[in-house]
Amino acid sequence: MPNSEHRYLYERLGDHDFQQLVSALLMLQFPDYVPLPLRQADAGRDGIDLKKALVFQVKWSSKGTEKNPVTWLKNAIEGERDKITELAAGGARKYVIVTNVASTGKPGTGTFDKLNSELDNYAKQFGIEMTALWREALNPIVDSAPSETKWSYADMLAGWDLIRYLVADTSEARHDSTLRFLLRRIAASQWNEDEGIKFSQVELDREPLFELFVDVPSRLVRESNFAASRPTDSRELGGTAAYITDKTTATFTLVRGAPGQGKSTLSQYLCQSHRIAWVPDNQEFSTGIAAPAEARFPIRFDLSKYADWIGGNDVFDVNDDERTTKRRRRPAAESTIEAFLAELMTHAGGIESVSATQVHDILSRVPSLIVLDGLDEIGKTSERRRIVNEIDAFCARCSSYTVTPKIVVTTRPNSAGLPEPTSKNFEVIALSSLGPALRDSYLRKWCLVHNVIGNDSRTLRRNFTEKTKEPYIGELAGNPMQLTILLYLLRQHGDATPSQRTELYDAYMGLLLAREANKHPRSVRKHRADLIEIMAFLGWYLQAHSEADGHNGPMPGSEIVAAMKHFQDTYGKPSNVVDELFEAASVRLWALTAKEEGLFEFEVQSLREYFTARYLYNYAGEGDQNFDRTLVFRELLRRPYWLNTVRFYSGNATGSDIYALKAGIEHEVTFGATPHVNVAIWTILCDGVFHSRPLEAASILDTLLSDEALTSIIGAIDSRNIAPIPDPKQGMTAFNRITRLIADNPALPVNYVRVRVLREALGLRNEFFDWWLNQLRGAVGSPSEAAWLRLGADCEVAAGSTASVPGLTVRTAAVAQNVLNTGLIPARGSELEKELMEFVLAGHCTATTSVRSTPAQIAVCLNPDDYYMLSADPPSRRASSKRSGRRSRALQGLRRSGSVYAEIADHRRFKRGEKGSTFPLANTAASLFNEHGRCWLVTEIAVAGAASHLGNGYVRVSQERPFGDDGHPSVLLQETRAHRDDAAWWSNQLQHCHDTLSLSEWSLALWAIAGGSVIEQHLETLSTIASSLPADARQRLTQSMWRVLNSGSVTDRTISVEPPAGLLEEIVQARVSGVKKTPQTWHYVESTTPSLTPLLRVARQHKWFKVDQAAVYR
């Protein structure tokens, strides 16, 4: 654990214990120190060191602060004046005041210096040396004290020191501690709750979580405002548990994951790994998992239970038959998370009562991990919004604590803009699919847990590998829960294992029923048909009421039994078997579980949604020959809460029913589908619902991918709400249509999103490249050539291809930049490569994003923006890891090819003795000059050095001029700095500038290096020169001037003048006003789904089910 960085809470000790603490510390510092009795006449002495003639007096403040601490301590000394006089007369040589009040250190006026001045005066009066130990002097003494000493005064501890005390199991730490007792009881209680994996239907309920856990990878979707900056190319985070525990700089994390992706298992693992330090019997040994280096106090709860508690239900106190009588809905002041945690801790800790104030005190002192699981399980949008508001308010309060608690919230992907914790506080990460390595790791663990060993294990792994080569099975296997079912079925059925999501669950439930029917013939086998019906009904019952009534948690057994009796009565079936059915569903099949005594719910939400879908598919419109089943499908499609249900619902369709689904989709798309509906349709296609009808799948994709829907599809891809289509062949119809639209006008802005959809969503990268290459070849030399190059550059379409484009030449800077960014690699020594090199060295390709070709690698390695960042002030402005990673790859490419430019680029690093100087910039510019001669990259790198706040560092050369044909970058750096404020010198240098390059050099140097008054005097000249330059050179100069302005190099050289009209008006105005230019980037803005009537009310209004046409049964 890290050392304590936080103040000790001496005020919690009281004056008596604080004096004892000081005595204990002084005894460690002075072996001959003797403390005197407390609360007795002590002649002004709380402790003495007779050998050194030291006297100590302790002054304690109940608040730890005083309005005027110097006066407060002076009054204390005046009150002891006679006693101090006697002590001095008796031989005492030094009098030390020890206090828990902190001083201030401002020279002359701070309380430290003021009190010292007063003590010097008193020393002259009393004839004894006097000094003070303030709080900040006492803290390091406590830091260096043995743990036994600190733990004897544990009430003062906070942060990691308190954690060390609370988790320590040594005899010295076993002081009577109510806090220790409470936290350990809570940890032990929740350890038992989280010890097993929540998905227990596949014989996992007896297996510890740690034996099957694999750390699912994740990707950063959005940073919080308070996290350290992270670049785009490092958004792949690796294992999520490891990231949250050890790597993230964010305090609050929102974890999004698809159904069955492992959100709850992750939340269990995070807490259990921290609980290892808190539970008895050395669980670290039994689990094989070490506690984190910074072991926090962990606590986890379901947000659905919290929402139910806010609604007035006592979710901790139930009897065997029914829920405790519901009270009134809790007012906001009584609904805080602290209040809920107080009841949770009371229940888990087994003590009389914990108050919200005590929870606040615990969280303010004890570094904690708080996991709020299942935000998506709150069905009503209004209730979800209230919960989110409470989370945000809780986080705001937590930010003031000694160590801010780490808070993790889990939820499903959010394609509908439903309320989520504020991005100001929370980083958002999305769980990714399991890759081959993690799937293999899980498979091996699964085999060990299920005793599948030897040849059986090898056979299962071989079958699994072959099966996952099929596109939809591979997609299923990336989800931990579906992978578990898949392995279970592969073990039983081998190659006959289904390849579609709903079919997979059907097969699993059939296998489970068959197995339990053989084990329990009197309950499961006898009522098998009824069980299938009643479980489907209960799925609907719980799911629908969760959305409509704000019932977010489990239901009392009595209510479920009443609903089951009503279902039986509706169809004239015997109700006297309901108890047997309930026992079979809850005890034999484990479909319904009692997590709290007397309250039942589905073990995992996906199973509830699976059964709900069965009920909707098989029972909606029952007996009505004119019932339109597409209405049910469309209502499901529109509702974010029902997304997983509509996926299962769609998977039931076969034969002609597939065409009914298609009709429903086409209706929604035709009449303006919301972004959520687009995502839902896409997800159904990814599930393989239309796999047996590939023509229909292709038609639906083509219908879905209208220009209006493209942005929402790409937004969902970026946020990991959806995955690419598993079978790209289904996208060819849409591909042909969209490419025709692109070909009609390749310059349209919408083509950027169109191309991303074709390449990323449909997975047709190779097909698009082949098509694009043919289009470009046909457009070479025509007006549309530039548009085709830009289209390819936006996505690096060639990605390292060496394909030739006959007739392609580089005539402008824009063409050069786009050719580089397409990723095309020109033939070595070809005219195209030479032309690209010329534009790169001339500084026209500073927006290069590809590193495939040698010219592109040089453009990236010698990008002037990196050199401005190298010398940036303040130092916090540094290149992102994305830019650094790109430069690193480019440099590796140059080294592999043996390019001399690799050596030039290596000069950018500070070598020994160069720290804080311009040597890296001067040496790079000089080396490039020696290799190539004058060029714009040489100039701008030298200007970046001269404009910086670094000290001078360059190698002197024989040339005398900074600009012109005989100029040199080292002279430019030296001379422009030396004459920064000399207006006449700048005018004289202009006389030596006759060509485009030297005029541009002088203009940029003036803008970047000269003093503000010099620039103001030459502003008209600068504007005239810039306007007279050729178009490419003019654009290059203005881009470089913006780079200077954005680098922060000129903040101390302000100008205040009316900007000249024309080319430089905007940039001069920006410098006058201190505004930087922010580059515009494309981004997707999530839209919200309109409020919809709960599905339960829709079903009743349109009489979908027979059970709703009978008497009310709740």
φ, ψ of residue 230 to 5 degrees: the values are -130, 135
Structure tokens at 586: 């809850």
Angle subtended by helix axes 881-896 and 854-861, to nearest 10: 130
Using only the alpha carbons of the chain, give its radius of gyration. Answer: 37
Asked whether the beta carbons of 641 and 595 are under 8 A apart, the reply is no
Residue 907 has pLDDT above 50, yes or no: yes
Determine the average pLDDT of the residues in 665-675. Answer: 90
Asked whether the beta carbons of 242 and 434 are under 8 A apart, the reply is no
d(CA 281, CA 21): 33
DSSP codes, 980-1022: TT-HHHHHHHHTT--SHHHHHHHHHHHHHHS-HHHHHHHHHHH
Phi-psi region at 38: left, alpha or beta (left = phi > 0; alpha = psi -120 to 50): beta
Residue 701 has pLDDT above 60, yes or no: yes
pLDDT for position 1086: 53
Write the class of the CATH domain 10-172. alpha beta
Picking from 138-152, 199-213, 353-367, which range would have the lowest pLDDT averaged per residue?
199-213
The 10s digit of each residue's pLDDT in 515-548 is 667 766 666 777 888 888 989 999 999 999 888 8
With bands split at pLDDT 50, 70 and 90, how would you rate the model's confidence at 225?
low
Structure tokens at 325: 């009588």
Secondary structure (3-state) at 58: strand
Asked whether the beta carbons of 1019 and 987 are under 8 A apart, the reply is no
Domain 177-317+326-427 fold: Rossmann fold (3.40.50)
DSSP codes, 312-347: T--TT-B-SSSBPPP-PPPPGGG--HHHHHHHHHHH
Domain ranges of the chain: 10-172, 177-317+326-427, 438-499
Structure tokens at 533: 């019906």
pLDDT for position 406: 95
d(CA 490, CA 503): 13
Determine the average pLDDT of the residues in 207-230. Answer: 76
pLDDT for position 286: 56
Asked whether the beta carbons of 549 and 383 are under 8 A apart, the reply is no
Structure tokens at 380: 């009503």
**Residue that wins the pLDDT comparison between 693 and 480:** 693
φ, ψ of residue 97 to 5 degrees: the values are -95, 130
The 10s digit of each residue's pLDDT in 799-836 is 999 999 999 999 999 999 999 999 999 999 999 999 99
pLDDT for position 1077: 67
Picking from 94-103, 602-611, 844-853, 935-944, which range would have the lowest pLDDT averaged per residue?
602-611
pLDDT for position 766: 95
pLDDT for position 598: 74
The 10s digit of each residue's pLDDT in 412-459 is 888 777 899 988 889 999 999 888 899 899 898 888 888 888 888 888
**Residue that wins the pLDDT comparison between 790 and 288:** 790
Residue 905 has pLDDT above 80, yes or no: yes
Identify the bridge partners of residue 368 per DSSP, sorted by sequence position: 297
CA-wise closest residue to 849 among 886, 903, 875 = 886
**Residue that wins the pLDDT comparison between 1060 and 860:** 860
Looking at residue 498, the DSSP 8-state letter turns out to be -
Structure tokens at 134: 């303030």
The 10s digit of each residue's pLDDT in 911-950 is 888 888 999 999 999 999 999 999 999 999 999 999 998 9
End-to-end CA distance of the chain: 54
pLDDT for position 966: 87
d(CA 998, CA 28): 73
Residue 319 has pLDDT above 60, yes or no: no
Asked whether the beta carbons of 61 and 100 are under 8 A apart, the reply is yes
d(CA 961, CA 963): 6
pLDDT for position 311: 85
Say if strands 47-49 and 54-59 run parallel, antiparallel, or are unpaired: antiparallel
DSSP codes, 862-909: T-HHHHHHHT-SSTT----HHHHHHHHHHHHHHHHTT-HHHHHHHTTS
pLDDT for position 631: 94
Residue 873 has pLDDT above 90, yes or no: no
CA angle 282, 285, 290 (to 5 degrees): 95
Residue 551 has pLDDT above 70, yes or no: no
**Residue that wins the pLDDT comparison between 494 and 357:** 357
Asked whether the beta carbons of 370 and 299 are under 8 A apart, the reply is yes
Q: Where are the alpha helices (DSSP H) in 406-500?
A: 436-449, 454-467, 471-477, 480-493
Identify the bridge partners of residue 411 per DSSP, sorted by sequence position: 256
Determine the average pLDDT of the residues in 371-379. Answer: 89
pLDDT for position 157: 85
d(CA 749, CA 734): 19
Identify the bridge partners of residue 967 per DSSP, sorted by sequence position: 961
φ, ψ of residue 347 to 5 degrees: the values are -65, -45
Question: What is the rounded average pLDDT for all residues in the chain?
Answer: 85
With bands split at pLDDT 50, 70 and 90, how would you rate the model's confidence at 877?
very low
| Strand order, beta sheet including 47-49 | 33-35, 47-49, 54-59, 94-99, 129-133
The 10s digit of each residue's pLDDT in 705-749 is 999 899 999 999 988 888 899 889 999 999 999 999 999 999 999
